Chains A and B, each alone.
Chain A
């Protein structure tokens, strides 16, 4: 299950809307896998409605920053702008963080959005429920 703060969900959806019809992408870093805290929108180097890619220099800087902060990529998100919020074959083939929550947002409808989360491990997609909260109750590790 993904438990995520409302302001983070709103930030992801806003980013997806802003970049529509191109795909938007980014991460939410946190001290542990189940604690998404720091919203990090990334530039889609592909600037494409059907593909996204973190630029390689940005990717290195992001991982160095997370290392320095003792963070992990809790959520890796991107948008689908004309199809449903379900991982494509391309998404699965690139999924390189077995511990992350892969969030997909669909912006195909102008007035409503889908916000769904998956684990992708060894090519297997498992959808997980998303619980939106106002704030996290306990400190990490409690």
Chain B
């Protein structure tokens, strides 16, 4: 069984328009590397200087990975990984 990754609209240019793709790995970092090998360019949109980009939120099942070890968050076969653009901004 693989890991299902939901891709937000803004990143679907990297997945040929697919909303959802499969990946593998035991940690989020491995899942992202596996995504990158099939969908080049995705990793740079998710990771910057070795940490998760602040413009995206990534969840393993229902948990925001920021509270679960970040790139080291554990992922298991059958899990759902959801990537969403952070909705934020401000006048300054």
A-to-B contact residues, CB < 8 Å: 23, 25, 27, 42, 46, 48-54, 56-57, 59-60, 63, 76, 78, 80-83, 87-88, 90-91, 93-99
What DSSP secondary structure best describes chain B's contact surface? Answer: mixed
Interface size on B, residues (CB 8 A): 20
Are B91 and A50 in touch, CB under 8 angstroms?
yes
Closest 7 CB pairs of A and B: A96-B85, A51-B90, A91-B89, A53-B88, A50-B92, A54-B87, A80-B91
Query: Which residues of A have CB within 8 Å of B55?
Result: 93-94, 96
A56-B64, A59-B84 are contacts. A87–B10 as well, Cβ < 8 Å? no
Are A60 and B90 in touch, CB under 8 angstroms?
no
Query: Which residues of A have CB within 8 Å of B85?
Result: 94, 96-97
Are B89 and A59 in touch, CB under 8 angstroms?
no
